[in-house]
């Protein structure tokens, strides 16, 4: 399989600012679309937390040209799918269909993105679904630990400190007109990216997208820079008691490097060693398998346009919470203070580079990879350079990334579980 690159990815910018990237793959009869608009929770006010995600979810609930039922009947009739979801910096969208149904799918997608009507009855149904989910979140130890971690790790005024889905009290106050106003203020083509991968000729894909979106003239929100996030210099801890639970969830971590940080890949290799490789890296081997302190324990590095979180996540018996935290901190201290040995580094780099072709086996995987390359300005040859970029990372660079971003004694720690007796 050839790695996608400049030779087989076409990049074209429409006059209204939409960037389109197309890669043909005629080994499958399907076509996948991935993309985003430059509008998200970044643009909502704190007292309206959840507005962006609510708005995105409502786009397919009715348009000028179709009702909610008509949208899904048309999609189901051809076995296609269209989805839109709100993120922090962007609103993402995706679609999949057979190549002959691409015009229909693009028409429905454009209809939802350009001509939503936010029918009051559908907005109220959607509000009920969101509030039900938020009520369920309040009884979910893992979700509550993650929510609390973000509140601890980021300044109160930072978008990353807030729930993307919002809160029961904020969702309850949002009106149909709030959604329409948020849409009108920030949905437009500037900064929009559309990726098409599959069994479609490049020229046909570009022409169909131009037909669907080329005359769109909306505008996006002006944005102030993200608030600065200082390095955590002390242990910030908070426990959330959830009656009736038999498991506690732990999230311990830090604001991490943005995806564009020079040492992001160094941190990614460090993260793989810490809590991904094999059966969840060193954390899985030591905290879970050898000591039996956790049902699961792994680490995750998010990246993104800003300082996304770098977290250790563990589910434990409530009686083992303190011992598990001590063990997790010991592994963080070890990776900060001791250089990784060459065999372990070589094995992890082989895992990372070897998993790339697996991620590119599907049109969905290729489309997401191309979207990320455009989003973070990595260059169309990034995937072709990726193995070399990983293989040149040394033990010294891994340790330097750990020392820059991690600290066994200064961290944000959220615990959610049954009340202490």
Q: How many angstroms separate the CA atoms of 216 and 221, rounded?
A: 16
Which helix (H) or strand (E) segment holds residue 151: the answer is helix 141-153
Residue 194 domain-assigned (yes or no): yes
What b/e readout covers 374-394, taking b as 16+ CB neighbours within 10 angstroms? bbbebebebbeebbeebeebe
Q: How many angstroms separate the CA atoms of 243 and 313, rounded?
A: 21
Residues 245 and 110 placed together within one structural domain of the fold: no
Residues 240 and 164 placed together within one structural domain of the fold: no
Residues 149 and 282 placed together within one structural domain of the fold: no
Residues 208 and 256 placed together within one structural domain of the fold: no
Candidates 158, 100, 389; CA nearest to 267 is 389
Residues 165 and 22 placed together within one structural domain of the fold: yes
Give me the pLDDT at residue 278, please: 82
CATH code (residue 348): 3.30.830.10
Residues 405 and 356 placed together within one structural domain of the fold: yes
Give me the pLDDT at residue 420, please: 78
Q: How many angstroms separate the CA atoms of 120 and 117, rounded?
A: 9
Residues 264 and 195 placed together within one structural domain of the fold: no
Residues 276 and 184 placed together within one structural domain of the fold: no
Q: How many angstroms separate the CA atoms of 326 and 316, rounded?
A: 13
Q: How many angstroms separate the CA atoms of 415 and 198, rounded?
A: 44
Q: Compute the Cα dihedral for 300, 9, 306, 408 and give only its sign.
A: positive
Residue 179 domain-assigned (yes or no): yes
Residue 228 domain-assigned (yes or no): no
The count of structural domains within the chain is 2
Residue 389 domain-assigned (yes or no): yes
Residues 195 and 256 placed together within one structural domain of the fold: no
Candidates 130, 133, 132, 137; CA nearest to 242 is 137
Give me the pLDDT at residue 109, please: 98
Among residues 213, 248, 278, the one where a domain terminates is 213
Give me the pLDDT at residue 99, please: 97
pLDDT, block means (10 residues), the chain with 421 residues: 92 97 95 98 96 98 98 98 98 98 98 98 98 98 98 96 98 98 97 97 98 94 92 98 96 98 98 93 92 93 96 96 97 98 97 94 96 98 97 98 98 95 65
Residue 65 domain-assigned (yes or no): yes
Local structure of 309: helix, strand or coil? strand
Can you tell me which residue has the tokens 């490789």?
Answer: 277
Instruction: Take residue 137 and report the two structure tokens written for it.
Output: 């979140």
Residue 224 domain-assigned (yes or no): no
- 8 A C-beta contact, residue 88 and residue 41: yes
- 8 A C-beta contact, residue 229 and residue 53: no
- 8 A C-beta contact, residue 247 and residue 293: no
Note down the domain range covering 304.
Answer: 235-417
- pTM score: 0.95
Residue 368 domain-assigned (yes or no): yes
Give Cβ neighbours of residue 134 (< 8 Å, ≥ 6 apart). 165, 166, 167, 168, 171
Candidates 160, 179, 183, 13; CA nearest to 88 is 160
How many C-beta atoms lie closer than 10 Å to residue 22's C-beta? Answer: 24
Give me the pLDDT at residue 421, please: 65
């Amino acid at each position: 399989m050839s790695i996608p690159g400049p030779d087989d990815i076409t990049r074209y910018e429409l006059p209204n600012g939409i960037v389109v990237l197309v890669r043909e793959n005629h080994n499958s009869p399907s076509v996948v679309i991935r993309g985003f608009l430059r509008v998200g929770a970044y643009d909502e006010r704190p007292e309206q937390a959840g507005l962006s995600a609510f708005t995105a979810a409502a786009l397919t609930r009715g348009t000028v040209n179709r009702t909610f039922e008509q949208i899904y009947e048309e999609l189901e009739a051809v076995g296609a799918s269209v989805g839109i979801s709100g993120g922090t910096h962007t609103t993402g969208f995706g679609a999949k269909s057979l190549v002959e149904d691409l015009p229909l799918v693009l028409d429905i997608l454009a209809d939802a993105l350009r001509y939503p009507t936010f029918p009051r009855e559908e907005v109220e149904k959607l509000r009920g679904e969101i509030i039900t989910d938020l009520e369920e979140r309040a009884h979910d130890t893992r979700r509550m630990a993650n929510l609390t971690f973000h509140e601890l790790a980021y300044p109160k005024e930072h978008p990353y400190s807030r729930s993307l889905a919002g809160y029961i009290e904020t969702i309850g106050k949002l009106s149909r007109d709030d959604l329409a106003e948020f849409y009108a203020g920030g949905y437009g083509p500037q900064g929009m990216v559309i990726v098409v991968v599959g069994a479609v000729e490049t020229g046909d894909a570009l022409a169909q997208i131009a037909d669907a979106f080329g005359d769109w003239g909306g505008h996006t929100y002006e944005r102030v820079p993200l608030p600065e996030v200082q390095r955590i210099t002390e242990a910030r801890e908070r426990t959330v008691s959830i009656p009736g639970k038999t498991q506690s969830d732990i999230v311990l971590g830090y604001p991490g490097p943005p995806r564009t940080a020079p040492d992001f890949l160094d941190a990614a290799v460090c993260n793989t060693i810490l809590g991904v490789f094999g059966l969840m890296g060193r954390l899985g081997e030591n905290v879970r398998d050898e000591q039996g302190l956790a049902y699961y324990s792994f680490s995750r590095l998010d990246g993104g346009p800003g300082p996304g979180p770098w977290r250790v996540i563990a589910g434990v018996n409530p009686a083992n919470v303190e011992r598990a935290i001590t063990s997790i901190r010991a592994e963080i201290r070890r990776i900060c203070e001791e250089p990784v040995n060459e065999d372990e580094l070589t094995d992890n780099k082989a895992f990372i580079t070897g998993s790339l072709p697996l991620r590119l086996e599907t049109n969905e995987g290729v489309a997401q990879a191309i979207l990320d390359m455009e989003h973070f300005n990595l260059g169309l040859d990034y995937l072709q350079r990726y193995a070399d970029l990983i293989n040149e990372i040394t033990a010294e660079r891994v340790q330097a990334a750990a020392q820059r971003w991690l600290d066994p004694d200064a961290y944000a720690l959220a615990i959610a579980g049954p009340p202490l007796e």
